[in-house]
Structure 1
Amino acid sequence: MMETMALANESPEEAGLGLRERSRLERLRRIRAAAEELFNERGYEQTTTKEVAERAGVGEATLFRYVTTKHELLLLTIGENMNQAIDSIEAADLHTAPSSRTAADYIARVYAVFEERAKFFGADPENVTSYLHYGFRAGSQLGAQSVAQGDRIINLVSSILDSAADSGFFSPDVESRVVAQNCNGTYIHEVLRSPVRQFSADDFWERLQKRLSVQIEPLFTP
């Protein structure tokens, strides 16, 4: 009954697929939704694949036809949410870019990128930390996605700094991409050290902005 109801609400793209493929996609959606719910309720570390399978209404053996490890459930949940968050960050900057007139405008755009990343972390600190932590493991599928996401942020910040340099506000002697890499690295470090230091997620952005300001603002001219 659950799959029948879901198939009735399928997208136009899915309507052209065979029943078996549509059923497969629906199971995958249920697995992803179950994982996200349980991660939010209990945290990634405390959730088991058996619990995810039960919540999704499938057997654990069926779950492992879609993901090979619990880490891949992070890929399905946090990874996809992070992609959507970066989509929104890029769209927001595209909207703001034409109004950049001063050094302060460019600096504000860089801060806006990382403030949104801070909000993403603050909404789900435990699971975002797990996602980044496992993403650094060699050969990890999470790692490949996490690197690609980091590159998107680095490219965006680098482009903002390049535009500032073209307008005469950013030091021409400094490589914008290196600055962007350092800023992204600072964000990752702040995420990973927060639970170790028992820092509150509530003031994450305040801590991060202080660290970013000493890297960015001295490189700008009025």
Structure 2
Amino acid sequence: MEITLSRKDRERLHRRNDILQAAQEVFAEKGYNQATLEQLALKAEFGKGTLYNYFPGGKQEILLSIFEALYDQLCELIAHTFEKKNGHSFRLQLHQLIEEMHSFFHKKLDLFVILIREAHRLTSSDDPAPQVFFSQQRNRAIDALAIPIARAAKNSEIKFDSPHFLAHMIMVNINGVQMKSCKGMSYDYDDESGPHTSREMADFLTTMILDGLGNPDNAAQTQA
């Protein structure tokens, strides 16, 4: 059932999104530690008090809200990529997902470098709340990916009994590649080899993850 928001709620949501977008730009430009609420307010064209009205926890709450919004986008991308009606095989859909995730990540690489650094700082602190938050966000993505994996297993496209475990393995491998990108490393030990484009990365990870899990006849579809 679709929920219709009132005009007031739509305006409030729009302002909240404006603040988050402005914060992403400021964090990417100045870094999280150097960014101030005054700079965020100026970029968003709101008063500092307005930021506190939407985010009482200040800069850290804004940071966590950015993470949550990015995971929202990831879950939407997963659901859209694996829609039943497109008629593509699971292997081809996974290839498309990895390619689009890799492309999305590199379009905002400066921001993701900062976000990953801050996520590590928060989860390394004595406060358990950030650890719970990031665990919940990761589980959202894993749950979303486990649905098409279970469907593919039921349709005998892959042979795997634990959809959540495979979803976790896929996300870990994708995140591992992204972490290397943040550190300025190549995807392989040899800087002259290994995948570099989004398509090459999708070819590499799809083959590495699914070979041995799927029907051999489906492998050729990735290269189509």
Note the C-alpha offset of 1:107.
Answer: 0.9
Structure 2 CA distance for aligned equivalents of residues 109 and 27 of structure 1: 35
- Matches of residues 1-222 of structure 1 in structure 2 within 5 Å? 13-15=6-8, 28-39=16-27, 41-42=29-30, 44=32, 47-60=35-48, 63-67=51-55, 68-77=57-66, 79-96=68-85, 99-100=87-88, 105-136=89-120, 137-138=122-123, 139-141=128-130, 144=133, 146-172=134-160, 174-199=161-186, 203=197, 206-207=200-201, 209-222=203-216
Note the C-alpha offset of 1:185.
Answer: 0.8
Structure 1 CA distance for aligned equivalents of residues 170 and 203 of structure 2: 10
Structure 1 CA distance for aligned equivalents of residues 131 and 24 of structure 2: 16
Q: CA RMSD in A?
A: 3.6
Contact preservation (8 Å) 2:37, 2:48: yes
Cα deviation 1:94-120 (Å, max 9, x = unaligned): 2446x25xxxx2211222222222122
Change (3 A) 1:209 1:117: same
Identity of aligned residues (%): 20
User: What is the aligned partner in structure 2 of residue 5 from structure 1?
Assistant: none
The TM-score normalised by the length of structure 2 is: 0.68
Structure 2 CA distance for aligned equivalents of residues 175 and 27 of structure 1: 41
**Counterpart amino acid of 2:82?**
D
Does the residue aligned with 1:218 lie in a helix, a strand or coil?
coil
Change (3 A) 1:112 1:153: farther
Deviates more, 1:67-76 or 1:38-47: 38-47
Considering fraction of residues, name the structure with more helix.
1
Q: Which runs of 5+ in 2 are unaligned?
A: 188-194, 217-224
Cα deviation 1:156-177 (Å, max 9, x = unaligned): 43233322322233225x4232
The TM-score normalised by the length of structure 1 is: 0.68
